[in-house]
Structure formats: structure tokens, C-alpha cells
Amino acid sequence: MGKNKVVFALVIIVVFAIVGAGISLICSKFIKFGDVKIVETSAQGSAAAKPMVGTIVFDPPLPQDAPADIKDAAMLGYNILMDTQKYAPGYVGNKLNCQSCHFKGGITQGGKNGGLSLVGVAATYPRYRKGLNYAEDLVTRTNDCFEKSMNGKLLPPDSKEMTAIVTYFQWISKGLPIYGNITWLGIKHIQSNHKPDPQNGIQIFTQKCAICHGDNGAGTDIAPPLWGNNSFNDGAGMANPENLAAFAHLNMPFKNPDLTVEEALDVAAFVTGQPRLHFAQKK
């Protein structure tokens, strides 16, 4: 091969390489490849400045830090959750407060000692109920706890109290993505093949619960009632043994949860089997 032919071949190769690279660059603008990761950028910043966009972080604002125009409402909402007896007395029919189950007014990350979190709840409603053919909004869901967990009455949607609660929920949900996968919300049921034994549940109740909740489950100055006329009624989420077991496993005895999976299931079977008021569905 002559020198010219070698040079010619090299030029051809280089030209093809450049043209090829150009074509694939242009194509990549229009064609989406299966494994291409879409980097989301925020409206204000570049991807580099906000690399965590899309990641859900627990960092709720406090009600006292709400902006002036919503601060009174957010604070009232928070106070209703902390002391429902005092701030929404007309709507409560037992001795519980929202925070009996939604610890710290729901400003927790759930999990161990967190009770039932409400951070981000405003980003996950309305929730479409398959079969019922309606979308349950936050007012309806909140009223569900008033009627059942609190054995009380429905708050008018435009009442001062309901407006305050929803404002509070919106505020502590600030920055969380609508319908994002907010992992700390919701009860995670215990996965176990153990058959709950309410008889053993009596022993556990006597050893580990009665000291605070009272021998008859009717509550003491330290802890709210677990059954009877002053506790949640039989329509409440907590009246479902699977829910109570999951809650007790992570949270009871209060601040020092130590129930095994089996103990939690047994004591829940006993507690939910005790007498409580019946929820009469209004038609």
C-alpha cells in the first residue's frame, strides 16, 4: 500500500467517525433509550445545585414557623391534635386526644416511638376508594377519626376547627411531592404466622399495660382508655387487631416498646375483644 492510500483511508475513517458521532448526538436528543436516567431539575436551580430532587426527606416545618397569614389557623390545628378535649370539646365523645395515637400531633416519622405520623398527609389526599366510587378527601378522612377514634361528631367542613386542622396538615406537608411515596405514613402490619391468643393477651396486658392504662383498661392520669365508653368505638382503625398489634409493637409500653411480635398480636387480640361503644353509621 502506498503512502497516499494510507492517508486516504485514515481521512475516510476520521470523517465517518465525526459524522457517526454527530448523528448519534442528534438522535439522542429525540430517542429515549431504555436505561437513560431522567435527571429532574427544579424550576429555580440546576441539577447540580439540587441533586436530591425526587428524594423524600423528613424535615417538616413547625406550626409556630408558619407564615403570618396562616399561623393562627396552623397553631389552632396543632392544638386541636394535642388537646382535642380542650380545643374541640363539642366534637369529642371519649377521653382521647388525637395525639393519643398521632404522637406529638403527628409531627413524627412514625416507626419506633413515633405513633402514627401525619407529616405529608395533605400530599396523599384525595384518595380514590375503589369500589366505593368516590375520592375521600382530607376533611372526610379527618372526620372519620372524629366519629370513630374519638367516638365523636362530624365537624362541619367550613367550621373554624376543621379549617384549622386542614391548614395545619397542609403546613406540615410542605415541600412533599403530591402522591409521593411517603414511607413513614400508614400502619405497616406485622408479618407473622402466629395465631393470636387472647388468653395469653390477658397475661401481657396485666404485666405490661395495666400499670398505665388501668386494670380495667379504662385509663389513668398517665394513659388514655383502651376500651369501655371512654375509648375509641368499634368502627375505629385501632379496633382492628392487626392495626393495634402493629401500633403496640412499635410504641408500647410507651417510650419503652419491648413486645415481641407474638406478644403484640396476643395483647391486641385481647384488647380489641373487650367491650367498647358501637359505631352507628349515619345514612
Q: Which positions touch ligand HEC (CB under 6 A)?
A: 81, 84, 96, 98-103, 116, 118, 121, 141-142, 145-146, 149-150, 165, 185-187, 204, 208-209, 211-213, 222-226, 231-232, 236-238, 243-244, 247-248, 252-254, 259, 267, 271
CB of 76 or CB of 101, closer to ligand HEC:
101
Within 8 A by CB and 6+ apart from 241, the residues are: 196, 265, 268, 269, 272
* Smallest separation, CB 45 to ligand HEC (Å): 30
CB of 193 to ligand HEC, least distance (A): 21
Cβ–Cβ under 8 Å, residues 204 and 259: yes
Report how far residue 12's alpha carbon sits from residue 7's, in angstroms, rounded to the nearest whole number: 9
* Radius of gyration, alpha carbons of the chain: 28
Least distance from ligand HEC to the Cβ atom of residue 65, Å: 21
Which is nearer to ligand HEC, 150 or 176 (by Cβ)?
A: 150
- Least distance in Å: CB of 283 to ligand HEC? 23
Q: Which is nearer to ligand HEC, 42 or 260 (CB)?
A: 260
Min dist CB 165 to ligand HEC, Å, is: 6
Taking the complex as a whole, the smallest distance from the CB of residue 233 to ligand HEC amounts, in Å, to: 10
Nearer to ligand HEC, 66 or 204 (CB): 204
**CB-nearer residue toward ligand HEC: 70 or 140:** 140
Cβ closer to ligand HEC: 6 or 235? 235
